[in-house]
A and B are shown apart, each in its own frame.
Chain A
């Protein structure tokens, strides 16, 4: 999947270009995210298009988070739909990720 990256200062804002992240495409997502995470420490992920995520999708997000955390960086999520949020809440991941409402909120959260 082709990620659109917008550089806002030192924060890389990445748009997730898919509506469903499940066991069928979670590996592709991780693979395509890898070069982005390589050169950055601060990444904000735009989930506005995402309608469905399953446990594999959650695992992929967690993987990204841990890579960035590993080098002192962070991953912030924003634009999450209600359904996706419900899944995050089911497994308490809303407490592991910082979930922001908008892109600006996310960039600002890095600055804080």
Chain B
């Protein structure tokens, strides 16, 4: 069997493949064993760590249940306690069943023992009655619940540590094994690579040798050497290739010999042919006449003026078909050929010296046109020495002369163009400038006449002359040129405006379009004319028309230059117009600017006003959402509140909550930050307090009020998370004034402090609590202070805007100034006191705007007489309710057990109430019967007070007219009757904004009881 190339390659690669398979299998086996070992270790340890984490969470919950229980939330605490133990035990069992590390068994045993003690202690804790002090002792005492809690944490931590250490060891072992496997694999791979390289090299050497031999031969053959063969004989594919290659080279060698022989024969034949051609050319040249072929005209003439001989070029120059025709047609050169016969005489005179060159003359051709020629000639003399004939040659120089002429004109046109451009720089008025341009065109470029006409958009489409220069003599005045498509509009000017393209009349004499003007034009020597459109934004506003003294005066270059000039002219017109426009516009602009300035001033004022309105509106909203009206007419307490807004809305808020048992709750707070977000946050925070109150009241014993610290704690749990998430906080002061107990209960959460003025000693203290602001620590339990007070004492709650008001030097108003201000005003009512505080702070920071709102609430404890009895009634706004109102008053004052007023006094009070209710229904509610009227009555030792509250139109006492006591009017007695029947009438509003009518009826004799 012969080894083909393919088999040989395959055989070499087989051992390599086998080696790779072995290597791969070994590597996989190694990694798999390594991995499964680690996995087993990690799994066990991980279970332990997870169990310990869950156990830890359960432990935390158990602990927090004690805190909940201590905080008074018994039911929740118990549920949490029970459920947390279940989770705790379950995880402990998992750990007990999963002891894998040395030392873990001991740690678990310790944890189990601690757990049993902890549970025992916990159960005992809950065995105590709720709220018992023993609970607190059990929790906080050494070896108590808290202590055990810490010990369990440590034991749990040890177990986690053990397992984590083991996991770390396992990880370390795995890394080492992996490193060993890596080294081993690298070594094996290196060996394989060396083996593969060796096998490859062998294969390549065996395969490549014959290919290299063939390639070398082919290269030699391509450079012409056909004697090379390839000596390689083998039965494989390459052997066959070498054999075929040698055969091909042999065939090529045979073909090339044949081609070379044929080429040699052809070269011989070619040489012979070329020799023949050269011979014939020489022969032809011999017969060819220089004369016939000359480009210049060659002539021989007699002195008398006849042609002896001319060459065809001469004949053609003069427009004759052949030399013969010329010679037979011309007998007197001087008259027939020379435009000026005298010039022939000059020529002959010039030839007296024997020869002449560069003699220029104007010849007349057969068609009567003239050409310019230059003659170079000599006189041929006979033996006698007289002129036998002249011979020479003539060159047509007409084109040269025309070019020279054009050039001269062009130069002038250039001059005109540049002059025009320069004049534009100086120009300031359009007509004068155009006049100047026309003058320059005529004078500098040497035209006969020139004018500029503007296309008028009138009925006749006339062309109005705006500038003119040169020889006119009334030509334009009578020309009556239009740009309409009529006879007088078809001249160059009209045509060019209409078509917006240059129009030329090469010959005014022969141009039918110029018939209307021809006679006048020729009279003034106008031979040709050109009209160029003045294009402004593709619109022809007019034309520049030029007349020349010669026909065909306007060459291409000249037209190009003139077009350029017209372009510049149009540009100039535009520029001048723009300039004029700009001058006008500048004037307008100045006026506009002035107006704009005025508007800006007006707008600024408006904006200012709008801004003020906005601030005012913001402040109103703030007032509505954040600032409660201080309650009025509280027996024994006088309350006033005040806010001076800074330039920004803030989140300061205060609220009041009046309880039935003579307690007043005050909350005053400052939300971090400014603007709408702070205000919204303030509104939200404020709403949590009534909610917390409602919630706690629903579970409290009747007549019991929830403690301020519980209120703040509950409100805080509702909002703490949100505040922390919003990265905001609220400083707050929650105070409850208990008039009966003469004690202020205060929860201060990082607020500015509460100022307490003691009337008896005149001392002023600032009370600070120790709580963090709301939204700082989640789950904070708040402390509460108790401050006893006496009649005449003042409490002032204030925002840091008061103490942090700054003067122009940046100095703070500070607590000391506040204390002094309060002490100075110790005697005045709270309303006046807070105004004094405000005035002091504002005066202090007089030149600098307030950085923060000034917010303060003042509460003064005053003497009060508790009412002996109170009663309330709610009425519907119907006149039929009047009887109920009277019965209520009568029932209150003259019940079965008392007689607060005598019969006359009672009847008077009844009448006053009747009239007041009647007035409310008729006037305040406008007769609507679906509204409410609240009646309350209070009995004191010396008088009975009745208050009527309604939400209708407020009563305007000043608008009441006196009654007609002469019977002339049937109504209008109401107010008079009220005021005559009771001892005092007051109209006002309560803290909820309801209108109040207060009636007071005194007793003649004071009650003794």
Which residue numbers of A lie inside 8 Å of B, CB to CB?
A: 20, 22-24, 52, 54-56, 58-60, 62-63, 65-66, 83, 86-87, 90-93, 96-97
A55/B973 contact (C-beta < 8 A), A22-B918, A91-B965 known = yes
Whole-angstrom CA separation of A64 from B963 in the bound complex? 19
Which residue numbers of B lie inside 8 Å of A, CB to CB?
A: 878-883, 886, 903-904, 907-908, 910-911, 914-915, 918, 921-922, 963, 965-967, 969-974, 976-977, 980-981
Tell me, rounded to whole Å, the shortest Cβ–Cβ distance linking B999 to chain A.
15
A-B contact pairs, 8 of them (CB 8 A): A23-B914, A52-B914, A54-B911, A55-B971, A55-B974, A83-B907, A87-B911, A91-B976
Residues of B near A62 (CB, < 8 A) are 967, 969-970
Q: Interface residues of B: mostly helix, strand, loop or mixed?
A: helix
Residues of A near B972 (CB, < 8 A) are 55
Residues of B near A20 (CB, < 8 A) are 883, 886
- B914 & A59 in contact (Cβ 8 Å cutoff): no
User: Can you name the residue of chain B whose Cβ is closest to the Cβ of A97?
Assistant: B967
Q: Specify which of A60, A83, A96 is in contact with B967 (CB 8 Å cutoff).
A: A96
- B882 & A59 in contact (Cβ 8 Å cutoff): no
Q: Specify which of A23, A83, A87, A93 is in contact with B882 (CB 8 Å cutoff).
A: A23
7 A-B pairs closest in CB distance: A96-B967, A55-B973, A59-B970, A24-B879, A92-B965, A23-B918, A62-B970
- A54 & B914 in contact (Cβ 8 Å cutoff): yes
Whole-angstrom CA separation of A62 from B910 in the bound complex? 22
A22/B914 contact (C-beta < 8 A), A62-B970, A86-B904 known = yes
Residues of B near A23 (CB, < 8 A) are 879, 882, 914, 918, 921-922
A90/B918 contact (C-beta < 8 A), A24-B879, A55-B974, A96-B967 known = no
Whole-angstrom CA separation of A83 from B976 in the bound complex? 17
User: Can you name the residue of chain A whose Cβ is closest to the Cβ of B922?
Assistant: A23
Of the listed residues B882, B974, B980, B981, the one surrounded by the most CB atoms of chain A closer than 10 A to its CB is B882
Residues of A near B907 (CB, < 8 A) are 52, 83, 86
- A24 & B882 in contact (Cβ 8 Å cutoff): yes
Whole-angstrom CA separation of A90 from B977 in the bound complex? 7
- B879 & A90 in contact (Cβ 8 Å cutoff): no
Whole-angstrom CA separation of A63 from B882 in the bound complex? 22
Tell me, rounded to whole Å, the shortest Cβ–Cβ distance linking A89 to chain B.
10
- A52 & B977 in contact (Cβ 8 Å cutoff): no
Residues of A near B879 (CB, < 8 A) are 22-24
User: Can you name the residue of chain A whose Cβ is closest to the Cβ of B906?
Assistant: A83
Residues of A near B971 (CB, < 8 A) are 55-56, 59
Q: Specify which of B883, B967, B970, B980 is in contact with A90 (CB 8 Å cutoff).
A: B980
Residues of B near A58 (CB, < 8 A) are 970, 973
A22/B973 contact (C-beta < 8 A), A54-B915, A90-B981 known = no
Residues of B near A90 (CB, < 8 A) are 976-977, 980-981
Tell me, rounded to whole Å, the shortest Cβ–Cβ distance linking A109 to chain B.
18
Q: Specify which of B883, B966, B970, B980 is in contact with A22 (CB 8 Å cutoff).
A: B883
Q: Specify which of B963, B966, B967, B973 is in contact with A65 (CB 8 Å cutoff).
A: B967
Whole-angstrom CA separation of A86 from B909 in the bound complex? 13
Whole-angstrom CA separation of A20 from B884 in the bound complex? 12
Q: Specify which of B886, B908, B922, B977 is in contact with A91 (CB 8 Å cutoff).
A: B977
Whole-angstrom CA separation of A58 from B1007 in the bound complex? 34
Residues of A near B977 (CB, < 8 A) are 54-55, 87, 90-91
Whole-angstrom CA separation of A87 from B912 in the bound complex? 11
Of the listed residues A23, A52, A55, A87, the one surrounded by the most CB atoms of chain B closer than 10 A to its CB is A55
Q: Specify which of B910, B922, B973, B980 is in contact with A59 (CB 8 Å cutoff).
A: B973
- B914 & A91 in contact (Cβ 8 Å cutoff): no
Whole-angstrom CA separation of A52 from B918 in the bound complex? 14
- A63 & B981 in contact (Cβ 8 Å cutoff): no
User: Can you name the residue of chain A whose Cβ is closest to the Cβ of B881?
Assistant: A24
User: Can you name the residue of chain A whose Cβ is closest to the Cβ of B980?
Assistant: A90
Residues of A near B966 (CB, < 8 A) are 92, 96
Tell me, rounded to whole Å, the shortest Cβ–Cβ distance linking B461 to chain A.
93
Whole-angstrom CA separation of A52 from B966 in the bound complex? 21
